[in-house]
Amino acid sequence: MVEVYVLNAFTKDGLGGNPAGVVPFAGHLPEEQMQQIATRLGFPETAFVMKSQKADYRLRFFTPNGEVDLCGHATIGTFSLLKKLNRIQPGSYKQETKAGILSIDVRDDGTVFMEQSLPRFLGDVPVEEVASALNIPPSVILSDLPVRIVSTGLRDILIPVADFTALNSIQPDFEKIAEISRKYGVVGFHLFSLADGTGFVAHCRNFAPLYDIPEEAATGTSNGALGCYLWKYGQISAQQASKLTFGQGYSMNQPSEIVVYLKIREGEISEIKVGGSTSEYRKINFRF
Protein backbone atom coordinates (compact mmCIF):
# COMPACT_ATOMS: atom_id res chain seq x y z
CA MET A 1 0.00 0.00 0.00
CA VAL A 2 1.23 3.50 -0.86
CA GLU A 3 0.02 6.59 0.99
CA VAL A 4 -0.73 9.43 -1.43
CA TYR A 5 -1.79 12.91 -0.32
CA VAL A 6 -3.72 15.37 -2.45
CA LEU A 7 -3.88 19.16 -1.98
CA ASN A 8 -4.17 22.30 -4.07
CA ALA A 9 -1.28 24.75 -4.33
CA PHE A 10 -1.39 28.48 -5.09
CA THR A 11 -4.89 28.85 -3.68
CA LYS A 12 -6.55 32.26 -3.46
CA ASP A 13 -8.38 32.91 -0.19
CA GLY A 14 -8.37 29.17 0.47
CA LEU A 15 -10.06 28.31 -2.84
CA GLY A 16 -9.00 27.36 -6.34
CA GLY A 17 -5.38 26.48 -6.88
CA ASN A 18 -3.78 23.63 -8.77
CA PRO A 19 -4.15 20.03 -7.52
CA ALA A 20 -1.03 17.99 -6.87
CA GLY A 21 -0.38 14.52 -5.58
CA VAL A 22 2.38 14.03 -3.01
CA VAL A 23 3.90 10.70 -1.98
CA PRO A 24 5.98 11.54 1.11
CA PHE A 25 7.55 8.07 1.51
CA ALA A 26 8.61 7.17 -2.02
CA GLY A 27 12.17 5.92 -1.62
CA HIS A 28 11.15 2.29 -2.11
CA LEU A 29 9.04 2.83 -5.23
CA PRO A 30 10.32 1.82 -8.66
CA GLU A 31 9.93 4.39 -11.40
CA GLU A 32 7.19 2.34 -13.05
CA GLN A 33 4.99 2.58 -9.96
CA MET A 34 5.63 6.32 -9.65
CA GLN A 35 4.36 6.74 -13.19
CA GLN A 36 1.37 4.48 -12.53
CA ILE A 37 0.38 6.55 -9.49
CA ALA A 38 0.72 9.83 -11.39
CA THR A 39 -1.31 8.44 -14.29
CA ARG A 40 -4.08 7.10 -12.04
CA LEU A 41 -4.30 10.37 -10.13
CA GLY A 42 -4.48 12.35 -13.37
CA PHE A 43 -3.27 15.60 -11.81
CA PRO A 44 -0.88 17.90 -13.71
CA GLU A 45 1.98 16.65 -11.50
CA THR A 46 2.61 14.28 -8.63
CA ALA A 47 5.69 14.68 -6.41
CA PHE A 48 7.61 11.75 -4.95
CA VAL A 49 9.72 12.48 -1.86
CA MET A 50 12.81 10.49 -0.93
CA LYS A 51 16.08 10.81 0.94
CA SER A 52 18.93 12.79 -0.57
CA GLN A 53 22.69 12.62 -0.20
CA LYS A 54 22.96 16.28 -1.25
CA ALA A 55 19.96 18.07 0.27
CA ASP A 56 17.22 17.70 2.87
CA TYR A 57 14.97 15.88 0.40
CA ARG A 58 15.05 14.60 -3.14
CA LEU A 59 11.92 15.15 -5.25
CA ARG A 60 10.87 13.60 -8.55
CA PHE A 61 7.88 14.91 -10.51
CA PHE A 62 5.61 12.97 -12.85
CA THR A 63 2.80 14.16 -15.10
CA PRO A 64 0.18 11.64 -16.22
CA ASN A 65 2.45 10.54 -19.08
CA GLY A 66 6.05 11.30 -18.13
CA GLU A 67 8.64 12.74 -15.77
CA VAL A 68 9.59 16.44 -15.74
CA ASP A 69 12.62 18.03 -14.12
CA LEU A 70 10.77 20.43 -11.84
CA CYS A 71 7.27 21.46 -10.81
CA GLY A 72 6.49 24.60 -8.84
CA HIS A 73 3.02 23.83 -7.55
CA ALA A 74 3.90 20.25 -6.57
CA THR A 75 6.95 21.55 -4.68
CA ILE A 76 4.82 24.08 -2.81
CA GLY A 77 2.31 21.32 -2.08
CA THR A 78 5.02 18.94 -0.87
CA PHE A 79 6.63 21.23 1.67
CA SER A 80 3.27 22.54 2.86
CA LEU A 81 2.17 18.94 3.41
CA LEU A 82 5.37 18.09 5.31
CA LYS A 83 4.66 21.03 7.63
CA LYS A 84 1.01 20.00 8.07
CA LEU A 85 2.19 16.47 8.97
CA ASN A 86 4.69 17.97 11.49
CA ARG A 87 7.63 16.44 9.65
CA ILE A 88 9.22 19.88 9.26
CA GLN A 89 8.98 23.23 11.02
CA PRO A 90 9.08 26.74 9.52
CA GLY A 91 12.55 27.42 8.17
CA SER A 92 14.83 26.96 5.18
CA TYR A 93 15.40 23.66 3.39
CA LYS A 94 17.12 22.29 0.30
CA GLN A 95 15.52 20.05 -2.30
CA GLU A 96 17.38 17.99 -4.86
CA THR A 97 15.65 17.94 -8.27
CA LYS A 98 16.64 17.17 -11.84
CA ALA A 99 16.75 20.95 -12.33
CA GLY A 100 19.37 21.28 -9.57
CA ILE A 101 19.46 21.81 -5.81
CA LEU A 102 17.03 24.55 -4.87
CA SER A 103 16.22 26.27 -1.60
CA ILE A 104 12.77 26.25 0.01
CA ASP A 105 11.40 28.71 2.57
CA VAL A 106 8.57 27.46 4.81
CA ARG A 107 7.01 30.41 6.58
CA ASP A 108 5.17 30.67 9.87
CA ASP A 109 1.88 31.42 8.11
CA GLY A 110 2.11 28.17 6.16
CA THR A 111 3.08 29.69 2.82
CA VAL A 112 5.98 28.07 0.97
CA PHE A 113 8.44 29.69 -1.43
CA MET A 114 10.74 27.86 -3.83
CA GLU A 115 13.97 29.09 -5.38
CA GLN A 116 14.17 28.80 -9.14
CA SER A 117 17.15 28.70 -11.45
CA LEU A 118 18.31 31.97 -12.97
CA PRO A 119 16.51 32.69 -16.24
CA ARG A 120 17.63 31.53 -19.64
CA PHE A 121 16.20 33.24 -22.72
CA LEU A 122 16.33 30.66 -25.46
CA GLY A 123 15.04 32.14 -28.68
CA ASP A 124 11.86 33.33 -30.35
CA VAL A 125 8.95 31.45 -31.91
CA PRO A 126 7.09 32.92 -34.92
CA VAL A 127 3.90 34.74 -33.93
CA GLU A 128 1.95 33.17 -36.79
CA GLU A 129 2.88 29.68 -35.60
CA VAL A 130 1.58 30.11 -32.05
CA ALA A 131 -1.45 32.14 -33.21
CA SER A 132 -2.50 29.26 -35.47
CA ALA A 133 -2.29 26.82 -32.56
CA LEU A 134 -4.34 29.18 -30.37
CA ASN A 135 -7.00 29.72 -33.06
CA ILE A 136 -6.56 33.49 -32.93
CA PRO A 137 -5.40 36.10 -35.45
CA PRO A 138 -1.76 37.19 -34.97
CA SER A 139 -3.02 40.69 -34.08
CA VAL A 140 -4.28 39.37 -30.72
CA ILE A 141 -0.64 38.79 -29.72
CA LEU A 142 1.13 41.98 -28.62
CA SER A 143 3.60 43.14 -31.25
CA ASP A 144 5.90 45.09 -28.91
CA LEU A 145 6.87 42.06 -26.79
CA PRO A 146 8.54 38.88 -28.09
CA VAL A 147 7.09 35.38 -28.21
CA ARG A 148 10.07 33.79 -26.50
CA ILE A 149 11.20 30.55 -24.91
CA VAL A 150 12.25 31.20 -21.30
CA SER A 151 13.33 28.78 -18.59
CA THR A 152 13.85 29.04 -14.84
CA GLY A 153 13.95 25.25 -14.61
CA LEU A 154 11.47 24.27 -17.33
CA ARG A 155 11.25 25.63 -20.87
CA ASP A 156 8.01 27.38 -21.85
CA ILE A 157 6.95 29.62 -24.72
CA LEU A 158 5.80 32.93 -23.21
CA ILE A 159 3.08 34.61 -25.25
CA PRO A 160 1.81 38.17 -24.59
CA VAL A 161 -1.93 38.57 -25.34
CA ALA A 162 -3.71 41.88 -25.87
CA ASP A 163 -6.03 41.83 -22.84
CA PHE A 164 -7.82 39.64 -20.31
CA THR A 165 -10.97 39.30 -22.45
CA ALA A 166 -8.95 37.99 -25.37
CA LEU A 167 -6.92 35.72 -23.08
CA ASN A 168 -9.98 34.23 -21.43
CA SER A 169 -11.78 33.55 -24.71
CA ILE A 170 -9.00 31.54 -26.39
CA GLN A 171 -9.98 28.01 -27.40
CA PRO A 172 -6.72 26.38 -28.47
CA ASP A 173 -5.92 23.50 -30.77
CA PHE A 174 -4.20 21.16 -28.33
CA GLU A 175 -2.79 18.89 -31.03
CA LYS A 176 -1.02 21.84 -32.65
CA ILE A 177 0.29 23.04 -29.27
CA ALA A 178 1.69 19.57 -28.59
CA GLU A 179 3.37 19.52 -32.02
CA ILE A 180 4.94 22.95 -31.51
CA SER A 181 6.01 22.04 -27.96
CA ARG A 182 7.75 18.93 -29.27
CA LYS A 183 9.36 20.89 -32.11
CA TYR A 184 10.90 23.49 -29.78
CA GLY A 185 11.60 21.20 -26.83
CA VAL A 186 9.31 23.03 -24.41
CA VAL A 187 6.77 21.93 -21.83
CA GLY A 188 4.04 24.14 -23.25
CA PHE A 189 2.59 27.60 -23.86
CA HIS A 190 2.32 30.20 -21.08
CA LEU A 191 0.01 33.03 -22.14
CA PHE A 192 -0.41 36.28 -20.25
CA SER A 193 -2.20 39.62 -20.39
CA LEU A 194 -0.77 42.55 -18.47
CA ALA A 195 -2.27 44.34 -15.45
CA ASP A 196 -5.96 45.21 -15.69
CA GLY A 197 -6.61 46.87 -12.34
CA THR A 198 -7.34 43.62 -10.49
CA GLY A 199 -4.22 43.77 -8.32
CA PHE A 200 -2.36 41.20 -10.42
CA VAL A 201 0.69 42.07 -12.50
CA ALA A 202 -0.74 39.76 -15.16
CA HIS A 203 -3.39 37.13 -15.75
CA CYS A 204 -2.12 33.85 -17.20
CA ARG A 205 -3.16 30.64 -18.89
CA ASN A 206 -0.93 27.60 -19.35
CA PHE A 207 -1.32 24.80 -21.92
CA ALA A 208 0.87 21.67 -21.81
CA PRO A 209 -0.95 18.98 -23.83
CA LEU A 210 2.33 17.29 -24.75
CA TYR A 211 2.37 16.08 -21.12
CA ASP A 212 -1.37 15.33 -21.00
CA ILE A 213 -2.09 18.66 -19.28
CA PRO A 214 -4.58 20.50 -21.51
CA GLU A 215 -4.72 23.50 -19.17
CA GLU A 216 -3.20 24.09 -15.74
CA ALA A 217 -4.75 26.28 -13.04
CA ALA A 218 -1.42 27.48 -11.56
CA THR A 219 2.16 27.02 -12.74
CA GLY A 220 4.94 28.18 -10.45
CA THR A 221 7.88 27.61 -12.77
CA SER A 222 6.17 29.35 -15.70
CA ASN A 223 5.26 32.40 -13.64
CA GLY A 224 8.79 32.61 -12.27
CA ALA A 225 9.98 32.72 -15.87
CA LEU A 226 7.30 35.31 -16.66
CA GLY A 227 8.49 37.59 -13.85
CA CYS A 228 11.99 37.48 -15.34
CA TYR A 229 10.61 38.15 -18.83
CA LEU A 230 8.70 41.20 -17.62
CA TRP A 231 11.84 42.57 -15.96
CA LYS A 232 14.02 41.97 -19.01
CA TYR A 233 11.58 43.73 -21.32
CA GLY A 234 10.92 46.73 -19.11
CA GLN A 235 7.37 45.94 -18.00
CA ILE A 236 8.05 46.17 -14.24
CA SER A 237 10.17 48.39 -12.00
CA ALA A 238 12.75 47.19 -9.48
CA GLN A 239 10.30 48.04 -6.71
CA GLN A 240 7.54 45.97 -8.33
CA ALA A 241 9.97 43.08 -8.89
CA SER A 242 10.29 42.61 -5.13
CA LYS A 243 6.77 41.15 -5.12
CA LEU A 244 4.83 40.17 -8.23
CA THR A 245 1.40 38.56 -7.96
CA PHE A 246 -0.04 36.63 -10.89
CA GLY A 247 -3.58 35.36 -11.39
CA GLN A 248 -4.28 32.09 -13.18
CA GLY A 249 -7.05 29.51 -13.46
CA TYR A 250 -9.89 31.98 -13.91
CA SER A 251 -10.88 30.42 -17.24
CA MET A 252 -11.20 27.09 -15.36
CA ASN A 253 -13.15 28.43 -12.38
CA GLN A 254 -10.10 27.61 -10.25
CA PRO A 255 -8.81 31.09 -9.33
CA SER A 256 -5.18 30.87 -8.27
CA GLU A 257 -2.61 33.31 -6.91
CA ILE A 258 1.10 32.88 -7.53
CA VAL A 259 3.63 35.21 -5.86
CA VAL A 260 7.06 35.79 -7.42
CA TYR A 261 9.96 37.58 -5.71
CA LEU A 262 12.86 38.79 -7.85
CA LYS A 263 16.07 40.09 -6.31
CA ILE A 264 17.77 42.62 -8.59
CA ARG A 265 21.47 43.46 -8.28
CA GLU A 266 23.17 45.94 -10.60
CA GLY A 267 20.29 45.65 -13.04
CA GLU A 268 20.40 41.84 -13.23
CA ILE A 269 18.23 39.16 -11.63
CA SER A 270 20.22 37.44 -8.90
CA GLU A 271 17.48 35.39 -7.22
CA ILE A 272 13.97 34.12 -8.00
CA LYS A 273 11.47 32.73 -5.51
CA VAL A 274 7.96 31.56 -6.26
CA GLY A 275 5.31 30.54 -3.78
CA GLY A 276 1.91 30.78 -2.22
CA SER A 277 -0.68 29.03 -0.08
CA THR A 278 -2.25 25.56 -0.16
CA SER A 279 -5.53 23.91 0.69
CA GLU A 280 -6.05 21.25 3.34
CA TYR A 281 -5.01 17.75 2.30
CA ARG A 282 -6.76 14.45 1.90
CA LYS A 283 -5.18 11.00 1.89
CA ILE A 284 -5.62 8.15 -0.58
CA ASN A 285 -4.26 4.62 -0.15
CA PHE A 286 -3.04 3.03 -3.36
CA ARG A 287 -2.73 -0.74 -3.78
CA PHE A 288 -0.84 -2.49 -6.58
Best CA proximity match to 111, nearest among 159, 77, 138: 77
- List the catalytic residue out of 45, 96, 115, 216: 45
Are 6 and 281 a contacting pair, CB within 8 Å? yes
Based on the residue annotation, tell me whether 271 is a catalytic residue of this protein: no
If phi > 0 it is left, if psi is from -120 to 50 it is alpha, else beta; for residue 42 that is left
Are 58 and 52 a contacting pair, CB within 8 Å? yes
Catalytic residues, by residue number, are: 45
